[in-house]
Amino acid sequence: MYVPDFRFRRLRRTQTLRSLVQETHLQSTDFVLPIFVEEDIREPVVVASMPGVFRYPEDQLAQRVKAAWSAGVRAVILFGVSTHKDDCGSDSWSEQGLMARMLRTAKEAAPDMLVISDNCFCEYTEHGHCGMVAGDDVDNDKTLSNLQRQVVVAARAGADMIAPSGMMDGMIGAIREALDGAGFSHIPVMSYSTKFASAFYGPFRDAVDSTFKGTRASYQMNPANGREALAESMLDEAEGADLLMVKPGMAYLDVLANIRQNSSLPLAVYQVSGEYAMIKASAAAGVIDEKAVAMESLLAFKRAGADLIITYYALEAIEWLSQKHE
Ligand code: PBG
C-alpha cells in the first residue's frame, strides 16, 4: 500500500484547526456599498435583474446612508442618475447639480462614513458616453478638462475619495493637478485603473436607465489583454493614484493577482452588476446556495490580492459575517 509522505489533511481535521490556519479573512471594513440616486422619482425603483438593489429618490439618500452605517458599512460609492443631461455632462460639475447634492447629503447624514464619489459623465450626458463626444469618438483631452472641474466640485461638496471610472488616458494626473491646485491635496484618488469593456455591466446599465446603445471599447480595455491590464494600473500609480482597481472581478482574478504582485498600493476590486445578478438568479432558480457562493466569491477577491471590495452584497455580507460569530 502506498503511504504519502506529507499529509495536508492533518490541518483540515476540525473547524477550529481550519480557521486557525486560514490565510485570508473577510471583515466588514473590506466592503464598499454602491448607492444609486435618481432625480425626479418619489419611491425607490427596484432594478429588475438585481433583487435587493434599488434606485432611490434623493430625499431617501440620507436614510440609506444612515442605515448602512448602522449595519456596519464604512464606505459607500455614490452613483447619480441625472435628468439634467446635455452633450458634455455639465450637471456633474455644477455646485447645485446632482453629484454635489448627493455628496453633501451623504456626508451630513453620516459624517464618519467614507463617501466615495464615482466620477464619470455617462449618467450626465445625453449620448451616455463617459466623456465629451467629438466626431464619432470620445475626445480624451476635452473630457479631462471637464473631469478636473467635476472632481473639484465633488471635493468641495465633501467627497472623501475621488474615483474616476471613465478610462480616459491621463485622468489621474489631470485630477491630481486639479485637486492639488484647489487645496485638496489631502483627498485620495482611487482609480478605476484597469476597467474592461465588459458584458458584465449589463444590469448596471439597466440600473442607471442608460439609453446607451453604443460601445465603450475605444476607452475601456479589451478583456483579452493581460499585459496591457497591468500597464494601465502601473501608469495610474505613476500619475499619482492612491488606490488601484480592477473591474469586473470574478472573471479577472488573474489581473488582480498580477497587479498585486507589481504594486504596493491598496487594491480594490469591483464585483459588478452582472456578477451579482448571476448569483441572485441562480440562487432564485434553486441551483446554488446564495450565501455560500457569494461569500466564496468575495473571499476569492481577498485571496487574489484585493484590499477593498465594491459589491452590491456589502450589506448581506456584513450580516452573514456577524452570524458566523454568534
Ligand atoms: C461607467 C460605469 C460602469 C459601471 C459603473 N460606472 C460601466 C459601464 O457602463 O461601462 C458598472 C457598474 C456595474 O456593472 O456594477 N462609468
Q: Is 273 annotated as a binding residue?
A: yes
In degrees, rounded to 5, the angle at the alpha carbon of residue 195 between the alpha carbons of residues 314 and 92 is 80
pLDDT beneath 50: ranges in the chain: none
Other C-beta atoms lying within 10 Å of the C-beta of residue 108: 11
- Calculate how far, in angstroms, residue 204's C-alpha sits from the geometric centre of ligand 1: 6
Examine residue 8 and state whether it is found in any structural domain, yes or no: no
Minimum-distance ligand 1 atom for the alpha carbon of 205:
9
Task: Please check whether residue 16 lies inside any domain of the structure.
Answer: no
115 in a domain, yes or no?
Answer: yes
- Is 104 annotated as ligand-binding? no
Task: Specify the pLDDT at position 173.
Answer: 98
Instruction: Establish whether 117 is an annotated binding residue.
Output: no
Q: How far is the CA of 130 from the centre of ligand 1 (A)?
A: 10
Instruction: Name residue, grid cell 504594486.
Output: 263
Q: Is 216 annotated as a binding residue?
A: yes
Number of the ligand 1 atom closest to the C-alpha atom of 276: 15
Residues 6+ positions from 138 with CB-CB distance below 8 Å: 129, 130, 131, 132, 168, 218, 219
At residue 209, the pLDDT reads: 65
Whole-number pLDDT of residue 210: 67
Question: Atom 14 of ligand 1 has which residue's CA nearest to it?
Answer: 201
Residue with cell 455614490: 78
3 in a structural domain: no
For a mutational test of ligand 1's pocket, the pick from 272, 275, 311, i.e. the residue with the most ligand atoms closer than 8 A to its C-beta, is: 272
* Residue 172 lies inside a defined structural domain of this protein: yes
Using alpha carbons only, give the angle 232, 248, 298 rounded to the nearest 5 degrees.
120
Containing domain of residue 173, as a range? 28-324
- Distance of alpha carbon 175 from alpha carbon 189, whole angstroms: 8
Q: Tell me, what's the pLDDT at 227?
A: 98
10 Å CB burial of residue 326 (0-12, 13-18, 19+) is exposed
5 is a domain residue: no
Residue 23 within any structural domain of the chain: no
Structural domains in the chain (count): 1
Is 13 domain-assigned? Answer: no
Q: Relative to the CA of 274, which ligand 1 atom is closest?
A: 14
Q: Is the pTM of this model over 0.90?
A: yes
Active site residues: 195, 247
DSSP code of 222? P
The C-alpha atoms of residue 272 and residue 58 are separated, in whole angstroms, by: 23
Ligand 1 pocket mutation pick from 122, 215, 297 by most atoms within 8 angstroms of CB: 122
Predicted confidence (pLDDT) per residue in 203-262, tens digit: 988 777 667 878 999 999 999 999 999 999 999 999 999 999 999 999 999 999 999 999
SS3 at position 290: helix
For residue 184, the domain's CATH number is: 3.20.20.70
Note whether ipTM > 0.85 here: yes
Atom of ligand 1 at shortest distance to CA of 130? 16
Q: What gap in Å lies between CA 248 and CA 194, rounded to an integer?
A: 9
Q: Any idea what the Cα angle at residue 203 is, between residues 201 and 208, rounded to 5°?
A: 95
Pocket residues: Cβ below 6 A from ligand 1: 120, 122, 130, 165-166, 201, 204-205, 216, 272-273
- CA of 87 from ligand 1 middle (Å) equals 19
Q: Tell me if 88 is assigned to a ligand binding site.
A: no
Distance 8 CA to ligand 1 centre (A): 42
Q: Report in angstroms the alpha-carbon separations of 145 from 150, 200, 236.
A: 9, 29, 17
